[in-house]
């Protein structure tokens, strides 16, 4: 306290390696009291990893960490909390089975004597939500809340603790304008109290409003720290990507009048309301939208992964509205899930085995009695591995030990196991570095130009804008715009992200 120039947080030469990925590489980072410091960078740049280290979730492979000038070794989130660090994680940290106020006070329960004081906690939570302007019944179970409401609880949680350092990892991802305003007011107040704030967001337009400084990360390295006032959005984006866009994104030829392979009509379900979509052969259809906009869930319901309340799905003229996942797959649809560890891969199996699993529908591999021809299966799997660019040495490795990029290639390879007509890629390049991305984009180009239908769902805006022929923008469970050709431009897309439901320009 006596030396006002000591940074509140000082991270020096921080590196972090995960098996196969170097997530951070010698990053320096400082945060002053009363500063709002934005971390900016593309997916997988290492933002979350950096703040996870500061939050005690991960320990750095190397580097040092000082808080208030004092060197600390944070061994757990609990540890970090004791040093006054409060974090809203990108991945929610709420207990679904507990009530809102229990979640808010989890880990720092109020006590009277030896017992916890539930009434005081309920009161405290109510007052806090009132101050924040979030309208949520604090007695509800978190499992019954919507994603936006859960986000609010998450935010409330960190404002409750008297934190000296506030870390907010994409807090506004699923908030409405109104709640975002309230949040910003609160951030301003905390800032005035001398709290240091680390803010992560992909919404450049927010930075001008709240940020003092912006640190840009790319591929795990710190590219630079700039002042928010003097830096244009264009410069930021250049810093972020670091290369000319056209080097990464291939030009994909479009079939002029592709057959309509799949149609969705008046689709209703959890997270989407009244959606009509046509999927055409030889075309890349992009789907963009904020988190929770329904852009993923509409396709998941088509695939039979979540229920469809009403509406029809037609696949090549057949009604497949409530078909089971495997029937959709057999009907020629491939779905690449966004969560490759949770839903995509057999983590304990080799890359080859993962690809082989999708070959079992082929008659030349599996005989009539269900007997697999092992050599043929292996040869075919290796051929597919080659096609998607997996080094042959990697084919026999346990897939969880491959890098994220290679894992994603395996996931692409699974799609080539059988003849498909429609490829649905949900976040096809999540956590994948630039080089691999270019390779994956070339695969998408091959597929589309071979006359298949491709759907790319992505929260990576440049990706959907540059790859797709036709772009659907989702907002609050509805298609707020369908853009083609030159209409696909950043400001246009952003506008429809926040567009109130269904208003057409």
Partner 1 sequence: MTIQSSRTEDAGAPRTRANILLAAIRYVFLRVGVLPFFLVFSLVVFSLISNQFLSIQNLTNVARQSVYLVLVSLGQMLVLITGGFDLSVGTAIAMTSVVSAMAMVALAPVMPDMIWLAILLGAGAGLGAALLIGCLNGLGIAQFDVSPFIMTLGVQSVGAGIALFLTGGVPISGLPYDFGNFFGFGRVLGIPVPVMIALLAIVGIWLLMNRTKLGSHIYAVGGNVRAANLSGVNTKRVLFLAYVLCALLASLAGLLLTARVESGETNLGGTIALESIAACVIGGVSLRGGLGRVENVVLGAFFIVLLQNGMNIAQIGSYMQMVLLGSLLVLAVILDQFRYRMLVGDR
Ligand X SMILES: Nc1ncnc2c1ncn2[C@@H]1O[C@H](COP(=O)(O)OP(=O)(O)OP(=O)(O)O)[C@@H](O)[C@H]1O
Residues 479/273, Cβ–Cβ less than 8 Å: no
Residue 174 near Mg ion by CB under 5 A: no
DSSP of 140-180, one letter per residue?
SBGGGS-HHHHHHHHHHHHHHS--SEEEEESTTTT--HHHH
Residues 53/60, Cβ–Cβ less than 8 Å: yes
**Which residues inside 140-159 make contact with ligand X, applying CB under 6 A?**
146-147
Residues 28/13, Cβ–Cβ less than 8 Å: yes
Single out the residue of 87, 151, 293, 429 in contact with ligand X (rule: CB under 6 A). 293
**Which residues inside 349-378 make contact with partner 1, applying CB under 8 A?**
349, 353, 356-358, 360-361, 366, 369-372, 374
Q: Spell out, one character per residue from 266 to 285, where the chain touches ligand X: x when CB under 6 A holds, - when not.
A: -----x--------------
**Which residues inside 438-477 make contact with ligand X, applying CB under 6 A?**
none
**Number of chain residues interacting with ligand X (CB under 6 A):** 26
Between residues 58 and 105, which has the closer beta carbon with respect to ligand X? 58
Stretch that binds partner 1, among 88-96, 128-136, 205-213, 225-233 (CB under 8 A): 88-96
Single out the residue of 1, 4, 91, 393 in contact with partner 1 (rule: CB under 8 A). 91
Reported as type and span, the H/E element at residue 24 is strand 21-31
Single out the residue of 44, 332, 415, 417 in contact with ligand X (rule: CB under 6 A). 44
C-alpha count within 13 angstroms, C-beta hemisphere, residue 467: 33
Query: Is residue 442 packed enough to be buried (19+ CB in 10 Å), middle (13-18) or exposed (0-12)?
Result: middle
**Which residues inside 285-304 make contact with Mg ion, applying CB under 5 A?**
296
Q: Which does 271 bind (CB under 5 to 8 A by kind): Mg ion, ligand X, partner 1, none?
A: ligand X
Residue 237 near partner 1 by CB under 8 A: no
Cα–Cα distance for residue pair 212/197, rounded to 1 Å: 10
**Which residues inside 385-404 make contact with ligand X, applying CB under 6 A?**
404
Q: Which does 372 bind (CB under 5 to 8 A by kind): partner 1, ligand X, Mg ion, none?
A: partner 1
Residue 41 near ligand X by CB under 6 A: yes
Residue 48 near ligand X by CB under 6 A: yes
Stretch that binds partner 1, among 41-49, 105-113, 463-471, 475-483 (CB under 8 A): 105-113
Spatial CB neighbours of 462, under 8 Å, sequence gap ≥ 6: 241, 245, 249
Stretch that binds Mg ion, among 47-55, 177-185, 375-383, 392-400 (CB under 5 A): 47-55
Residue 48 near Mg ion by CB under 5 A: yes
337: DSSP letter? -
Residue 96 near partner 1 by CB under 8 A: yes
Between residues 118 and 203, which has the closer beta carbon with respect to ligand X? 203
Residue 344 near partner 1 by CB under 8 A: yes
Using alpha carbons, select from 304, 336, 324, 342 the residue that is nearest to residue 422.
336
What is the side-by-side order of every strand in the sheet holding 478-484? Answer: 333-336, 422-426, 453-457, 284-289, 470-475, 478-484
Using alpha carbons, select from 148, 134, 132 the residue that is nearest to residue 190.
132
Residue 450 near partner 1 by CB under 8 A: no
Cα–Cα distance for residue pair 401/186, rounded to 1 Å: 43
Residue with tokens 């800032």: 191
Cα–Cα distance for residue pair 361/438, rounded to 1 Å: 30
**Which residues inside 8-47 make contact with partner 1, applying CB under 8 A?**
17, 19
Q: Closest distance between Mg ion and the C-beta of residue 272, in Å?
A: 12
The three-class DSSP label of residue 326 is helix
> What is the Cα 370 distance to its own chain's centre?
39
Stretch that binds ligand X, among 43-51, 203-211, 390-398, 443-451 (CB under 6 A): 43-51
**Which residues inside 299-338 make contact with partner 1, applying CB under 8 A?**
303, 305-307, 309, 324-326, 329-330, 335, 337
DSSP of 36-93, one letter per residue?
EEEEE--TTSSHHHHHHHHTTSS--SEEEEEETTEE----SHHHHHHTTEEEE-SS--
Q: Closest distance between ligand X and the C-beta of residue 69, in Å?
A: 26
Q: How many residues does the chain have?
A: 505
Residue 406 near ligand X by CB under 6 A: no
Q: Closest distance between partner 1 and the C-beta of residue 279, in Å?
A: 18
- In the complex, the residues that contact Mg ion under the rule CB under 5 A are 48, 90, 296
């Amino acid at each position: 306290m006596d030396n006002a120039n000591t940074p509140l947080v000082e991270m020096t030469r921080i590196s972090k390696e995960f098996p196969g990925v170097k997530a951070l590489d010698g990053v320096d980072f400082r945060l002053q009291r009363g500063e709002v410091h934005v971390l900016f960078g593309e997916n997988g740049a290492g933002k979350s990893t950096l703040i996870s280290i500061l939050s005690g979730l991960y320990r750095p492979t190397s580097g040092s960490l000082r808080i208030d000038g004092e060197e600390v070794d944070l061994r757990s989130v609990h540890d970090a909390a004791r040093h006054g660090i409060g974090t809203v994680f990108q991945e929610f940290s709420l207990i679904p089975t507990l009530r809102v106020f229990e979640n808010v006070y989890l880990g720092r329960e109020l006590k009277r004597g030896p017992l916890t004081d539930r009434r005081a906690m309920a009161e405290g939570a109510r007052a806090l939500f009132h101050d924040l302007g979030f309208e949520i019944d604090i007695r509800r179970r978190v499992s019954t809340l919507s994603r936006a409401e859960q986000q609010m609880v998450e935010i409330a949680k960190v404002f409750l603790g008297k934190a000296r350092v506030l870390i907010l990892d994409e807090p506004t991802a699923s908030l409405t304008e109104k709640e975002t305003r309230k949040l910003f007011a609160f951030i301003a107040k905390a800032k005035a109290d001398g709290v240091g704030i680390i803010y992560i967001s992909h919404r450049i337009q927010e930075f001008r409003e709240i940020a003092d400084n912006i640190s840009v990360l790319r591929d795990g390295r710190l590219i630079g720290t700039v002042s928010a006032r003097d830096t244009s959005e264009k410069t930021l984006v250049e810093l972020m990507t670091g290369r000319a866009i056209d080097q990464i994104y291939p030009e994909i030829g479009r079939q002029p009048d592709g057959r309509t392979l799949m149609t969705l009509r008046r689709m209703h379900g959890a997270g989407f309301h009244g959606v009509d979509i046509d999927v055409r052969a030889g075309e890349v259809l992009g789907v963009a939208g904020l988190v929770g906009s329904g852009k993923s869930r509409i396709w998941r319901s088509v695939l039979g992964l979540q229920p469809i309340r009403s509406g029809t799905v037609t696949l090549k003229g057949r009604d497949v509205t409530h078909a089971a996942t495997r029937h959709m797959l057999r009907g020629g649809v491939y779905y690449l899930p966004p969560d490759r560890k949770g839903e995509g891969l057999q983590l304990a199996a080799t890359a080859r085995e993962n690809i082989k699993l999708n070959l079992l529908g082929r008659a030349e591999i599996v005989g009539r009695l269900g007997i697999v021809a092992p050599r043929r299966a292996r040869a075919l799997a290796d051929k597919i591995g080659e096609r998607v660019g997996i080094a042959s040495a990697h084919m026999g490795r346990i897939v969880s030990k491959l890098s994220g990029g290679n894992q994603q290639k395996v996931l692409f390879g699974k799609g080539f196991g059988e003849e498909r007509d429609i490829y649905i890629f949900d976040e096809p390049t999540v956590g994948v570095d630039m080089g691999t991305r270019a390779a994956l984009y070339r695969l998408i180009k091959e597929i589309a130009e071979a006359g298949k239908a491709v759907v790319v769902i992505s929260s990576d805006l440049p990706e959907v804008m540059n790859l797709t022929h036709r772009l659907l923008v989702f907002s609050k469970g509805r298609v707020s715009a369908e853009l083609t050709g030159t209409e696909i431009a950043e400001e246009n897309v952003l506008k429809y992200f926040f567009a109130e439901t269904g208003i057409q320009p």
